[in-house]
Amino acid sequence: MWLLGLALEMAALFAYSLLTQAVLGTHHQTPSVWRLFRIQMSTKAVGNILPGGSAASSALGYRLLTLSGVSGPDAGFALATAGLGSAVVLNLILWIGLIASIPGRGVNAAYGTAALVGVIVMLIAAALIFGLIDGQGRAERALRWCARAMRFDEDRAAEVLRHMGNRLQGLASEPGLLWRVLFWAAVNWLLDAASLWIFLRAFGGTLNLDALIVSFGIANVLSVIPITPGGLGIVEGVYIPTLTGFGLAGSTAAVGVLSYRIA
């Protein structure tokens, strides 16, 4: 059964590559999905071995995409939009799980903490999106100031900002493309959650769907705190007590979560 769990995890990672490909849209130099998958696996590896690895993995992803023929602005747009879209979908999945779970299970402190972190993530995402669409307004002035402070070419930075804003506006004007982005983001998270369920089931544990979604959502929302590589220790420290609180035996939760995290 653990082979099925591993296959689901690989499928989830591949779905994220399809998400990136969807964000790139009809760009004439879009790499093949298999190349995007290899790039993603490389960035995932970096993110899982460095503290605060999301910054390093994003830099590596940008470099590998530009080496694959994607223009710099399009590479930055793809990485930012895929990350923001994925975070938004994760929070929506968590909130749906919370709404379904609260009537029968009540509310606890973990729910409130995860919901607060989720709201902060959504607000940051909204601010970034509006800032990029704003283009030549406050976002560009702030970017030019940062570029001057770091001795970068402020005109080039402003050009990239305007390009990303135009791409975001184009994405919003293409409902079909936007829905494909949201669809692959949802597939990525749901396959990941299914992999967790399989690993728990392999050791004799079982959960109701709402308990699985809430545990999965809380752990992954809190994993955005960039303290340890890949959320090491944080994710496990959320998963195991949360799953135990939903009635899973402590030993089953521990071995299931650790096997899933190794995979």
147-184 per-position pLDDT tens digit: 666 666 656 666 666 656 666 655 666 667 778 888 99
* Global confidence as pTM: 0.78
**Average pLDDT value for residue range 231-236:** 77
Cβ contact 191:8 at 8 Å: yes
The pLDDT score that the predictor gives to residue 28 is 57
Round to the nearest angstrom and report the end-to-end CA distance of the chain.
13
The pLDDT score that the predictor gives to residue 199 is 93
Q: Which residue has the tokens 């909130």?
A: 95
The pLDDT score that the predictor gives to residue 47 is 81
Cβ contact 66:162 at 8 Å: no
The pLDDT score that the predictor gives to residue 110 is 55
Report which DSSP code applies to 137. Answer: T
The pLDDT score that the predictor gives to residue 34 is 92
CA pair distance 160, 136, nearest whole angstrom? 11
pLDDT above 70: percentage of residues in the chain: 67
The pLDDT score that the predictor gives to residue 179 is 82
Cβ contact 96:233 at 8 Å: no
Residue 229, CA distances (Å) to 37, 56, 80, 83, 252 in order: 21, 11, 20, 17, 24
pLDDT at 92 over 60: yes
The pLDDT score that the predictor gives to residue 242 is 84
Report which DSSP code applies to 31. Answer: P
**Average pLDDT value for residue range 222-247:** 77
| Cα angle for residues 241, 242, 245 (degrees, 5° grid) | 85
Cβ contact 51:226 at 8 Å: yes
